[in-house]
Chains A and B, each alone.
Chain A
């Protein structure tokens, strides 16, 4: 494989606090990852681990304090607003909350056609493309004239996916896109993500706290813990036989939907916790 689609090396992000002479808090301590064309890289981590910040840095919504982000070989770490606007054709986003990620006072059609019109499509072309996008994400054809509040969470997320697909991007940053959805809806939206990837060859940077979701959709998985990537590898390996202790804990903490299996897992988790505790004690003594 030649140059990866997205190549992040040693990415650091720090947030400054409030007040006079605020202190900077670093939330990412040098994260490196790469995504190939048509590939899904799952980023899994708990709240506060910095997993969302990785996605936001790639999108240009937060400024990196160090490191380099390359997209198709070009350095976009500190892209100017104008470059960002060009990049928006290639990098898109689907956010977690389908309720706040759509403008409540714009119709679905307006939301979808706006980026197309801004990038120079005629009104007629935009309308045709919107119809196609609605079909692609499995929404009714008349959805374009309706407002977001008339749709359920799963349908809104479909609209958000359609919006991301509109400029035919190469990479979509998906920030917990199924976390706010009901179980049955979640499975269907995930299938939609996979279908679309197979059809269009788009790559996903798929951020989630849920190991099961990440396992379902990712080719490779990176595990983030306290601002560092502690483990990266093929999805089936990382999510079934992880090497890093944190990933092991994460895996065993996720309950299985079966009382008997879950009891076994619980016992194993307690055993592992005991083991780690003893190791820590020994390390402390030594």
Chain B
């Protein structure tokens, strides 16, 4: 039987494979905005055939005609021009503005973003410098100043505006590319013999396309707004029908005929709002909406918790029938820990062993009270010396975590703050859990650092995390963890990120400290060698359940559960040495090279 094959369920895979387009079609906001945009665009395209008048055709007898006048469905403006015709022509002006502005910004920004992100440092600095320079130009002012150059043509203005917008796109693309460039699949593509151009086009651009599409919608919106704004100010040719010019005309006529002002405002508002909202929907579809963390149920505890028998009194930690679940997108709860029970005596080491996804870390975190906020403890009980931990207030838990329960993480480096010295962080931890003066705390930290086998405690005390090695960092964290002489130490894969020679030393250290402080240790790991080295008892977890537990010797020598047997059988031991000789290609495939 194979665990690997079981892990992909074809039935489950189907809903995960939702394309952004399908997600968009289920989003009412996306549907409404795209239908609105589509209607507006189609109206704009049909303009030459459906408008009764030329946008600049002025009729003296139609000046300020009311809406509904024959031939003037929305009335006419102060110059006797048909408002409906002008509106429809304005749509085209806006669309051309959006098209020019957005595509110029996209073409420049994406091209240089790809080049600057993918190729060497020199090209990156050069492009960065140029685009930073462009960003410093005052946009609107520049466009007005350049009017003599553009000769009032809004298309030329939009061309320049596109250039001014391009730094935003350049930055998005460059940052994405820098991230993607170091991914292994780009290396793999290079090894596959693909040219840089193909890697950029297929692997890099394809991955970063989402944010670019989103940005394009916003760019189109801002191009339209800017064009209207300029026209409103009266900058540029007044022969070009535009929402801005129409609003300006309506504005001067506000008291005579307020509707003249309303039509273009509504259309312009709808257009830009639709673009922005569509952009938001695109972002949700491409990047996914985050599930909001929520506590769905308070932990329900078994009522028997009040009774403390004599047997339990000897136990330091007792976990009973623990069930931890997470909400799925469909709103149901998915159990990741399904009724786990175990106990731990003072001074004992229990190994919680399992593969990824077995729920071993979730179990450990629940004892520490540091599960993610969306996790739900459906039922169960966790008792430390007979005291129920589930349902404790955060401040009580915090007091407990500092003194009675300590924790050693898997990644020592990411658990140290890079902006403080090692010493400052340890002193802060010690003073948080016990009242003592700064000098006392400092002396205690130095003593602890020496105790965990650090050669030059003073130097490490003054070092920043990046100045020490991973093994040293783990020693520092162990020093911090045992500072308060805890009764229970929870170690989550404490040596997985370390080299084997360092691992052996860290395990030695843990063993010594445990004997010295008479701590109980809950060791979460996937490594049976580590378990054999340090654990008294072992609990094997699979799919959220403990399938087998017992003394270390018993479990290694006579595993009973098939899963334990499978795991132990997979260990590459001393005796699995490869014996078959190398076979050259020709002999293997039977063909000539």
Contacts and interface: CB of A to CB of B under 8 A. Distances in A.
A-B complex is real:
yes
Listed residue (A59, A92, A198, A262) with the most chain B CB atoms within 10 angstroms of its CB: A262
A151 B355 CA distance: 16
Contact of B588 (A91, A92, A106, A200): A200
Interface stretch (A23-31, A36-44, A126-134): A36-44
Given A147-B17, A253-B500, A106 B567 contact: no
A101 interface: yes
Interface in B174-203: 183-185, 187-195, 198, 202-203
A63 B265 CA distance: 61
B464 interface: no
B35 interface: no
B79 interface: no
Q: Is the interface of B mostly helix, strand, loop or mixed?
A: helix
A57 B451 CA distance: 42
A97 B187 CA distance: 12
A201 B585 contact: yes
A137 B552 CA distance: 36
A188 B192 CA distance: 25
A85 B185 contact: no
B529 A255 contact: yes
Contacts of A46: 499-501
Contact of A185 (B4, B190, B193): B4
A213 interface: yes
Given A183-B567, A184-B570, A190-B572, A100 B585 contact: no
B503 interface: yes
Nearest to B501: A253
B130 interface: no
A198 B588 contact: yes
B184 A97 contact: yes
Interface residues of A, number: 94
B571 A257 contact: yes
Contacts of A209: 499-500
A142 to B, nearest CB: 8
Contacts of A89: 193
Given A154-B4, A188-B4, A212-B573, A254 B529 contact: yes
B533 interface: yes
B291 interface: no
A37 B585 CA distance: 7
A106 B571 CA distance: 34
Interface in A202-232: 202-203, 209-213, 215-219
Interface stretch (B233-241, B401-409, B475-483, B575-583): B575-583
Contacts of B188: 93, 95, 101-102, 160, 163
B333 interface: no
A100 B588 contact: no
A100 B530 contact: no
A36 B528 CA distance: 35
Contacts of A278: none
B8 A151 contact: yes
Nearest to A173: B191
Closest 7 CB pairs of A and B: A255-B529, A88-B193, A201-B588, A201-B585, A39-B582, A115-B192, A101-B184
Interface of A: 36-40, 46-47, 59-61, 81, 84-89, 91-93, 95-97, 100-106, 111, 114-115, 118-119, 146-147, 149-155, 160, 163, 166-167, 170, 182-188, 190, 194, 197-203, 209-213, 215-219, 235-236, 239-240, 249-250, 252-262, 266, 269
